[in-house]
Structure 1
Amino acid sequence: MIETFLSFLPLFSILSLLFLFKKSSIFTGMFTLILTALLAHSPFFHKSTTALLHPMVKTSFTTFMILYILFFGILLFYLMEKAGAIKKIASFISLSTNDRIYQVLILSLGLSPLIESVSGFGLAIIVIAPILLALGFNGIQAALLSLISLCAIPWGTLALGTIIGAELSNVDLDMLGVGSALMSFPLYIYFAILVCTIAAGKREVLKRLPEIIFVSLVLSSSILLCNKYISVELAGLFGSLITIIVVFTLIKIRNKTPDISSTEKLTFIKNISPYLLLTFVLLTSRMIPSFKENLNNTFNIKRENYDFELPLLYSPGFFLILSCIFATILFKLSIPNILDSLKLSVQKCFPVILTTFLFIFIAEIMATSGMIHILSNFAAYSFGAYFIYLSPFIGAVGGFLTGSNTASNTMFIKLQTQTAAEIGSTPLLAACTQNVSSSMIIMINPSRVTLSTSVCKVEKHENIIQKKMIFIVAGTLSVLALEIFLFSLCV
């Protein structure tokens, strides 16, 4: 019994420091890391100091893989922002139609997922919230719409959190991607109806419900097909681009397209071309077997002792580097702009990487010392077959507290999958539930809400927005719980 109590202490430390004492993620990670190491070294777990060296090295390798993708994803965003490309893309999309339903579908289910898929960490809010305000939405509407638009986070930063989740849980990445996409189908319908209701009201939504559902299915189907037949990393980027194209097609069919000159169209293509290049090179590397094999076997860092492999030229990080170089040349960015973009990327990246390292290290120590195994046994004994219904709420806690699918998966995905195995459930279902619930609940993370209210200049109404988002998140968790129930009936 004492081992179970001590095993729970690291999780209790994380929850209490973040939620009750409002400490930063870095402080929480450092404090909990020290606590976890001391517990592992205690007579109850019998781990020597040298035994902790293995999880530390393994954590370092995993963190480097994250850094390789994350830094260049953020850098691409800042390079394009310095060039004015992001504003021009947003302006073109927002001015392409006066129809509020189409406007919000393009921005919330198209542009926002596009930016999150490449850069992540809430940067899409900074882009679409000002556009919504310029289109005549009030501050509260703009804040809510920008938060709900963070709906493609399982594939944010080229599916970084999903990749780490698959690696830590020993679940096949393609299966985790496909499972997460299937689980997201009803959620995208839910989010599409929500954003359109906020934008245009219930009556307009009821009139055009089939059209709204169709667009949500385009996004979810595109993401699913890309996960299944192309690559998990490309799914969010591919799905958002397809959605933008489809909505533009619907606008044209309904004859609601303002006069847009050929020059403006070419300018739009130029501004979005770094994303198009990224999509093309990723697609090529995943679809041509010989090219894929050569990239995988060239500059491949392998450490079998730590179950680590990073093919530098096959990783999304390499293609992000190419896109960054392309953007720099295309927009003729000056040296000061490049240096400033690098500086901003380091500032944005450093706390995220440090926090991720700390949480992964904590999880690795807990796994090595047997704490995860003890907790999974306890959860299996306490909840039995009903544990799987608790799974979405565990993922939600991780997403809410950390604001990162990568960090949340690091904390909880091993516990989820091991407990699922203990109770005779499917570890893949637990991993998908963790991945999706963690991602979708990030839209209510305090830092995201604060960012949205700040950009929309409605800081005084932050509590109102937080309460509204709580109801939205409650609906999200209810949908996930219903999905699990229906799955259990089919098995």
Structure 2
Amino acid sequence: MTTLLSLLPLLLVLGLLASGRASALVAGLAGLAATLAASATLVLQADGPAAVALLFRREVPAGLWLSWHVIAIIVTGVFFHRATLARGGAGGGTLGADPLEASPRRLFAVCFLLAPFAESVTGFGVGYIIALAALRRLGIGGIPALLLGLYSQSLVPWGALAIGTTVGATLAGLTPGELGLSSAVLQIPIHAMYLFLYWRFAREAGVAVPALQKLDDALWTALLLVLVWMANRFSDVEIAAAAPTAVLLGVRFWRDERPDGARLRATLRTAAPYVVLTLTLCATRLVAPLRDLLKPLWALRPFDNQPAFAPFYAPGFWLLSIGLAVVLMARAPLAKVAAEAARGAWRACAVTLAFVVMAEFYVGSGMATSIAEALRAVAGRGAALGVPLFAAVGGFLTGSGAAANAMLMPMETALARALVLDPAWIAAVQNSVTANLTMLSPIRVSMGAAILALSTSDAALYRRAWPLALPPLLTGVAAVLVLLFHL
């Protein structure tokens, strides 16, 4: 009875999302209500009314505090994007308007550098929007553009300044850096398989990639992955994708385009908000005196097991500050930009709040542990193979690494402990698989179809796009098998 009651909120959420008749917000609110009722019932039966009151007094503030870290990025990230749009130009002036030849080099830079950079800085599909604009500038449209645009989501464990990884790490009892580093290791085989699929999609889009260029693509992919790993190892997880993609994007532009002084100055002017933001975030994380000044300044940490919030160190402060500067310099109506940002952000904020508070109650009431023990009893050590499948379903249905981690991480790390497996690597499998599967979520695919004005059915789109699910799924299953046979 305890296990069934613990499972019901999760099953309710998955059922509502899978039905296609409920949004992520409706499913999250329904799941939260069911979780509150189930946790209160179980704690009441075990420990009485006083324990229920204590549970709510402890977990509601903890869930709100963890949600705030995500919401601060959502709101300021959307505001920053709206500010760059108000400044003018496609994708906030980063892409230009003149058509370009769809060369293999340019296509690789768009799919693996430009679009993932935009997604890592702002998140929430902004990188996808910029990718589609760039692909259309290269003369690529239709289903090929939709498929290649999905590569904007290929570094989503660090998307939106790694808010999903931060949430997952907190719920798994890890630091964001620890989870980011192990996720970077898993991203190596995932990205290698993405590259092979990319060559096939490029050929279908009419951009054949010759053998020598494939070698070039492979070397740049390896360099990108090494830099992502190093950024996680030696810096903060928030810039672990933004900094490497920005650096390589600049080097690629110089190598491939050979810009003269006028074009270089024009490119820097249009990309200025992103350049300033990246340099600022890197400086606050890599320049020791500045980091040591800002990180403890007015820092708040009301919960020992939750991350601190330092207002002048938080990425949201710089997203907001630079966004405000962009609006003022462009003489755009600030009230209009702020209103557009609020309309664009509120739903994602509400979804995050619902799922994160739901996760806190799963942990605090012992429901996650109850499910893990039941899975272990039924399937033994083989239950661990369900982790990548759960993660894939969560990422696909929610379209959000933060929401999927909040929904599943407590249960899966509890399962790891029950099976005497390393919870840190199980958390990395959950984080990597769920984040990468968000690229195929109905939210992303329908967004691409709407932007490209495709009349193709969803079934036809997924018949072409489904191979993108294989790299994270195969990597996740392989990682779990290594854990099982290593012990």
The normalised TM-score by structure 2 is 0.92
> Residue type of the partner of 1:223?
V
Alignment partner of 1:460 is 2:456 = yes
Structure 2 match to 1:322 = 321
1:445 is displaced (CA, Å) by 0.5
Instruction: Report matched runs for 1:35-434 at 5 Å.
Output: 35-42=34-41, 43-44=44-45, 46=48, 48-49=52-53, 51-85=55-89, 86=91, 88-91=93-96, 95=100, 98=101, 100-200=103-203, 204=209, 206-251=211-256, 257=257, 260-304=259-303, 307=306, 309-329=308-328, 332-336=329-333, 338-434=334-430
Structure 2 counterpart of 1:284, one-letter code: A
Change beyond 3 A, Cα 1:334–1:436: same
Task: State the distance in 1 between where 2:293 and 2:98 align.
Answer: 39
Q: Distance in 1 between matches of 2:20 and 2:485?
A: 41
CA shift at 1:484, angstroms? 3.8
RMSD: 2.3
Aligned to 2:439: 443
AA in 2 matched with 1:152: L
Q: Which moved more, 1:151-160 or 1:56-65?
A: 56-65
Tell whether 2:19 aligns with 1:20. Answer: yes
* Greater displacement, 196-205 / 464-473: 196-205
Q: Aligned-pair distance for 1:71?
A: 1.2
Q: Is the 8 A contact 1:105 1:247 kept in 2?
A: no
Do the aligned partners of 2:356 and 2:407 also contact (CA within 8 Å) in 1? yes
CA distance, structure 1, for counterparts of residue 365 and residue 483 of structure 2: 34
Identity %: 22
SS at match of 1:348: helix
C-alpha distance 306-195 of structure 1, shift in aligned 2 (>3 A)? closer
CA-CA distance at 1:458 after TM superposition: 1.0
Whether the aligned pair in 1 keeps the contact of 2:165 and 2:431 (CA below 8 Å) is: yes
The answer as to whether partners of 2:161 and 2:239 remain within 8 angstroms in 1 is yes
SS, match of residue 149 in structure 1: helix
The amino acid across from 1:364 in the alignment is E
Instruction: Return the offset for 1:389.
Output: 2.5
Partner of residue 468, structure 2: 472
2-structure distance, mates of 1:196, 1:298: 48
1:101 touches 1:196 (CA, 8 Å); kept in 2?
Answer: no
Contact 1:400 1:446 in 2 (8 A): yes
1:49 deviates by: 4.4
Unaligned runs of 5+ in 1: 252-256
Give the deviation of 1:358 after TM superposition.
0.9
Pairs aligned (count): 479
- Paired with 1:213 and 1:489, the residues of 2 have a C-alpha distance of 31
Decide whether the 8 Å contact of 2:105 with 2:213 is kept in 1.
no
TM-aligned CA distance change 1:414 to 1:482, over 3 Å: same
**CA shift digits 1:341-389 (9 cap, x unpaired):** 2112111111111111111111112222211110111122333333333
Give the deviation of 1:94 after TM superposition.
Answer: 6.9
Unaligned runs of 5+ in 2: none
Deviation at 1:286, TM superposition (A): 1.8
Would the alpha carbon gap of residues 34 and 468 (structure 1) be closer, same or farther in structure 2, given more than 3 Å must change? same
Q: CA deviation at 1:480?
A: 2.9
Question: Deviations along 1:457-489, whole A, 9 cap, x unmatched?
Answer: 113243211222223213431233234434655
- Counterpart AA for 1:402: T
- In 2, Cα distance between the equivalents of 1:193 and 1:248? 23
Comparing 351-360 with 317-326, greater Cα deviation is found at: 317-326
Q: For residues 305 and 127 of structure 1, do their structure 2 counterparts lie closer, same or farther at Cα, with a shift above 3 Å needed?
A: closer
Distance 1:278 1:94, change over 3 A: farther
Following superposition, the deviation at residue 208 of structure 1 comes to 3.0
Q: CA deviation at 1:205?
A: 5.0
Equivalent residues of 1:100, 1:199 under 8 A apart: no
What SS does structure 1 have at the residue aligned with 2:166?
A: helix
Offset from partner CA, 1:243-272 (integer Å, 9 cap, x none): 313433552xxxxx47x4422210111222
Q: Which amino acid counterpart does residue 226 of structure 2 have in structure 1?
A: S
Partners of 1:3 and 1:87 lie apart in 2 by 52
Q: Deviations over 1:435-474 (max 9, x none)?
A: 1101100011001110001111113243211222223213
> In 1, distance between residues paired with 2:109 and 2:448?
19
Q: Which amino acid aligns with 1:102?
A: R
